[in-house]
Each structure stands twice: as structure tokens, then as C-alpha cells.
Structure 1
Amino acid sequence: MSRPRQPRPTLRAVAQAAGVSTSTASLAFSGKGPVAAETVARVRAAAEQLGYAGPDPLASSLRHGRSGVVGVVVEGRLLHAFRDPFAVSVLDGLSQVLDEIPAGMLLIAQPAGAPERAITQLSATALDAVVFSLCGPDTNPAVDHLAARGIPMLGDGAPADPRIAHLALDNRGATVRLGRHLTGLGHRRVAHLMMPLRHDSPTGLATLDDLAGAEFSDTRDRAQGFLDVFGPGAGGGDEPPQLAQTSIPDVEQGAMAARLLLDVPVAQRPTAIVAQSDLLAMGVIRAADDLGLSVPDDLSVTGFDGVELPWFSGTLTTIDQHGLAKGRLMGEMLRQLLDGERPDDAVQPTDLRIGTTTATAPTP
């Protein structure tokens, strides 16, 4: 026979054993009140004797109307997010502010192609707010579920819904700055390596028609910024631009796609590639090296994110979107949401960081 479950020791029992009021015992545990050190020691000794570990977090959440947990929805597998140094830096900045609030962070993976599956986990979890922080799709079925529960939401430009407060990014304008940097160096035959356009995107060459069906606004907007500079009628000539996309925005897939752009006759080979992330740019550099091409003498390469790349001996020319600062700013906006205020939508500032991976276009 199983033994009956022993009731959880209460703060009132600890106070009685220590010979103090319940409010004094509470202050002794919280450390937020003027309680003599001797009294604190007596209260903690009584708690240890009774097996009292501290206030019941569930009871505390019921009293304050909060669970102390913020959900962070991550598109795709968590593995890919943890391999992306930019994603990690954003989560680090966000967690720093959550520690100050204080609140915990619950990472919720939303399967690509089946986003409704995340609703099951969301519905079973008490959450104070939810953050969509890592480049998700334009539409998300979880938004209606969370809105119906009255849970405040924060995003990074996606999902595109007025019920979500946003810290967005000018992806299009930032990519135009990269393009103008390359045109200033004399590059005209420039290719574009994109992150996935859809959840089921294969790694391979792409066309302008593929852009019309893009599910991810960051991919689409960065591609549009590229076309603003190098598209037909925009200085890129009358030929269709050279485009490729990846199934996963990592180094390996970036290298696979880059080989399709680079392993061609010299007269057709681009003199520069604009990659939509720093990891993809590293894949381009790996592919160039495999093909015996020198960066930047034979090929200029740009990225997007501004992450630390300690294994790379050079310095990537990229758009630095200051991941840690972005995460902290999202945390401050989240703080306002938790206080019952709707923060104004904002745009994360970015900087063009010129490194050693771009140079004057090679002479034909």
C-alpha cells in the first residue's frame, strides 16, 4: 500500500515554530524587509526543521495573477536555433531582462509546416506573455489562440498581426545598403543567396517567381532590397538576377547553394554574392575555397546579422543588427506588456560593418 501524501508545510507553521508573525516570516524569506539577522536565522532554522522549502510558487502566481513564465516560440527545431549565434545572442539579451523582471523563459518549438501543433503545448501552459523572436512565418495559427486567452504577444515583425507589438527590422533598406556598397566597388554581376522562402524550400537555384510565394517576410524583404539594386531595370541589366535559396540557413546548406552559383564558366560567375545571413555567407566562403576562388580577390561576400565568428580569420562585411541589444530591447518592451501597457512598435537599428570579405570587382 502506498503511503498517504504528507501535506506541504506552510509558512504559518514555520512562523509559529519560530515564534514570529506570518508576515515577519514572509519578509525573512523574501529578503525585502527590515528583519533582524537573528530573526531570519530563527525562521530559516524552523523552516529546515519542518521541511519548508519556501513559498508555493503556484499559490504565489494565483495571488499575483501571473505564472512567472514567458513563452518564446521558435520556428522549426530548437537545434537549429541553438546552432545560430545570432538567435542565441537575441535569446541571451531577452533572458537578461527576464531575470530582472523576474520571469522564466519557456522555449516552444513550432514545427515547420505544421505550426498548429504548437497550440497543444501552448494551451497546456500558464503563460504571462509570448514572444515570436526568431524569423517566423507571416501568419501563425497560434496568434488567434493566444489572443483568445488574452495573452500579450511580442514579435520581431512576424507574424504580421496588429494584436502583436513588434520590434521590427528594415530588412529591405539594410540590404540596399549592402548592395550600394558593392556597386561602389564596381560589382555588377552579383548573385543573391537566400534563407528559405517557404517551410518546404529545397536548397537550390531560385527564380523571381519563387519570391511571390514566400512565407517569410524577412527572406522576401531582403530579396527585394537586393532587387532594388541589382534587379532588372535597377542597374543589374536586363538578365534575370542569379538567385539561390536554402532549406536551412546554415553553413552547410549555404555552401551547397553557393556551389551552384559559382561552379560555372568564368564569364557567368558572379563577382559578388549577397547572403541573407552570416552563416550562409560562411557557406559561400567555404564553397569558394573548395573551388579555388579567393575571397575577396575573385569573389566578394556579404552577410547579414553581425555575429561573432571566432573560427573565421577575416572579418565579414555584413549588416550588424546587434543581437544582444535587440534581445534586451525586446525584453524592455515585454516588461511594458507585463505591466499592462502596449509599447509602441519600434525598429531595431542596424549598422553596415565593412570587413575583409569585399573588395573592388576583379577586372574581366
Structure 2
Amino acid sequence: MRPTLQTVADAVGVSRSTVSNAYSRPDQLSADLRDRILTAAAGLGYAGPDPTARSLRRRRAGAIGVLFTAKLSYAFTDPYAVQFLRGLASSAEQGRTGLLLLPLSMDDEEAAVAPVNDAVVDGFCVYCLPDWHPALAALEARGLPVVAGQKRPGSQASFVGIDEAAATRAAGEHLVALGHRRLAVVGEYFTVAQSTGPVTIKSPGDVAYYTDRERLRGYQEALAEGGVPWSSVATVNVARNGRAEGAAAAAYLLDRAPRPTAIAALSDILALGVLDAVRARGLRPGHDVSVVGFDDIPDATTEGLTTVHQPAAERGRRSGLLLLDPPTDPADRSVVLPTTLVVRATSGPAPS
């Protein structure tokens, strides 16, 4: 039979709690006694207390579940995700807690919900989930603490994020002030379908994803104030947040007549792809076509990309702190961090 804590206790002639202390609280035992217990355990083939059972007894799993709708490699390759996770990890380390990365399917409902239902965690950090994703209902059913970067009606989740609309409103006002009247916007979750191509968005309110909806609303407000009707703005959806997808989306816009004089991408990764497409056609960013991104990842500086800076690492750090040590006052469970428009070489006056 498989050896247990009691098997080791009987072999050494001590109590179960003493054997348990040899693994979890070694400072409570003399070095000699602990060595005798570990030696006996090794001889019996006992590997130590079951971590799942131990977490149930303590009512603490020692891990935060991080949810995002992408492959696991995305967490290590997307510059914004890397910064966010670095900030989250710093809080987790401080709280002696680990991170469990949970990529969720967008195609299979059962596979989309299973990671949430099966995760042995103390709470969840929602990195990126569109409003229609079935995992959101599973989160509510688990009843564990949740911190999200998106606001949803009726949700009890804490919030750590930015004023998305105010951020893009500043970018839109910048483009309008430069004389741009033919604009386009590129983003990932404009529709439920994961495909790259033009889409018709009669109003930002029709977009069922909080982040994109708010960023579009900011642009709409800035353009309306400048006398540019929303109906004149071209919008292109991408299948995923990737540089190649940004270039493919820009192709729809740049190969039409008249082409837009400015393209706003809702992430820097997409904006870098737009720049690739602009240059591939012999056009000059900031002269023939202005390009604006969002996030201010390191490559944005290298490329001279005009973008909205948001504190990615701080956003992750504050998310972890709020999850591990939630304030008693619900009013303190919403944190709005500042953003800044960073003007660089890729935006300039509209060509005459």
C-alpha cells in the first residue's frame, strides 16, 4: 500500500503532527529528529504531504489564476503581457503566492470553462476576456475573489485599469488638431468572429468587448467634437493581436481610394504591423499616413510610434495587491491608473 503520514509516524514512533512539522515547520523540531523522520520517509517511499490536501486544510492554495484568451506562449511573447505579468509576479512573490497561467479556448465552450472550474487557486486575475466568453459565468459561480481590467454590469470583481475612453480621446484630439478627417481604426475584438477584415460598427456601443468599446468611444467623442462623423471612420477587425495581423488589416485600408490619412490601432503590436504595411507601399509614416498605437511597449520608442502610454507593470502589481489583500471598503476596490499620450514621429499633419 502507498505509505502515508501515519505510516512514517508509526515507523519513527512520533505523532502525525510531528511528521507534518518535519515538512512544513522544520523550526519546530530538533535537527536530529527531523533527520530521522526524513530518513524513515525516504526508506518507506513517502514523498511528503499531499499538496492538494494540505491546501484544503489551510483553505489556501497559494496561487493566483491568470485568465487570458490566447495560447500560453502569448504570455511570454507579447510585450504588454510580459510587463503586466512581471508586475503581477512581484506582488505574488511579496505574498508568497504563485501564478497559474490559464489560457482559455475561444472555440470550444467546454474547454473554455474547464480551466476555471478545475483551477486550485485563491483567486483570479482576468487579463483579457471579451464580454461574451463563457468563462465569465464560471468565474462568478466559483465565488473566489476576482480582479479584472474590464468593467462589466453586475460583476462583483475588483477593478484595476485605466480610463480607456479618456486615453483614446486624447489621441483622437491630437489627430483632429493635425487636420485629419479620413481616419480608420484597427482592433481585435470588434466582432465575435475571429477573422481579419473590414467590419461595420454603427456605434462603439455595439462592440461586445469592454476595452475596445471604450477605446472606440474615446475616438468617437474626439472626432465628433472635431466635426468628423463616426460613419466616415473605417474599422477593421483582426483575428489576433499580432504584427502580421496589423499589417493585413492595414492592407484593406491602404489599398483603397481614398485611403485614410490616419490609422489608429488599439494596441502597439497592431500599430507596428500597420507601419510595416505603410512602408511596404513606399509611404512615409507621419507624412503620407499617420499611425497611432496604444500601450507604449519598448518597440514603440524604437519605431518612433505615437502612442498612449499605460503603466502595464504597475497595473499588474496593483492587481496582485488588490487580490491578495483586498480592502474592506468596496469603494477602494476600484483603481484607475493614469495614461499619457506620447507624441512621436509617426503622427503629423494630414497631407493636403
TM-score band w.r.t. shorter chain: 0.7 to 0.9
- Which residue number corresponds to residue 351 of structure 1? 340
For structure 1, which segment, 295-304 or 172-181, has the greater mean C-alpha deviation from structure 2 after superposition? 295-304
On the 8 A contact 2:173/2:223 being kept in 1, the answer is: no
Q: Separation in 1 of the partners of 2:73 and 2:52? A: 31
1:322 corresponds, among 305, 311, 325, to 311
- Which residue number corresponds to residue 169 of structure 1? 162
Q: Separation in 1 of the partners of 2:169 and 2:215? A: 8
Instruction: Compute the displacement of 1:172 (Å).
Output: 0.8
- Which residue number corresponds to residue 259 of structure 1? 251
Instruction: Compute the displacement of 1:329 (Å).
Output: 0.8
Report the number of matched residues.
351
- Which residue number corresponds to residue 126 of structure 2? 132
Q: Separation in 2 of the partners of 1:303 and 1:23? A: 58
For structure 1, which segment, 168-177 or 31-40, has the greater mean C-alpha deviation from structure 2 after superposition? 31-40
- Which residue number corresponds to residue 259 of structure 2? 269
On the 8 A contact 1:11/1:25 being kept in 2, the answer is: no
Instruction: Compute the displacement of 1:38 (Å).
Output: 7.0
Greater percentage in helix: 2
Instruction: Compute the displacement of 1:111 (Å).
Output: 2.2
Structure 2, gaps ≥5 residues long: none
- Which residue number corresponds to residue 92 of structure 1? 86
Instruction: Compute the displacement of 1:275 (Å).
Output: 0.9
On the 8 A contact 2:130/2:189 being kept in 1, the answer is: no
On the 8 A contact 1:10/1:52 being kept in 2, the answer is: no
Q: Deviations over 1:234-253 (max 9, x none)?
A: 43269712322222221111
- Which residue number corresponds to residue 193 of structure 2? 200
Letter in 1 for 2:319: M
Instruction: Compute the displacement of 1:127 (Å).
Output: 3.0
- Which residue number corresponds to residue 53 of structure 2? 59
Q: Separation in 2 of the partners of 1:188 and 1:66? A: 55
1:333 corresponds, among 297, 322, 340, to 322
- Which residue number corresponds to residue 209 of structure 2? 216
- Which residue number corresponds to residue 250 of structure 1? 242
Over the matched positions of the two proteins, sequence identity in percent amounts to 33
Q: Separation in 2 of the partners of 1:244 and 1:11? A: 65
The 3-state SS of whatever aligns with 2:279 is: helix
Q: Separation in 1 of the partners of 2:229 and 2:148? A: 37
Instruction: Compute the displacement of 1:122 (Å).
Output: 2.8
Structure 1, gaps ≥5 residues long: none
1:181 corresponds, among 174, 196, 203, to 174
Q: Separation in 2 of the partners of 1:27 and 1:53? A: 14
Pairwise mapping of residues 32-71 of structure 1 onto structure 2 (< 5 A)? 33=27, 51=45, 53-71=47-65
On the 8 A contact 1:132/1:159 being kept in 2, the answer is: no
Instruction: Compute the displacement of 1:104 (Å).
Output: 2.9
On the 8 A contact 1:194/1:223 being kept in 2, the answer is: no
- Which residue number corresponds to residue 296 of structure 1? 286
Letter in 2 for 1:163: Q
Letter in 2 for 1:61: S
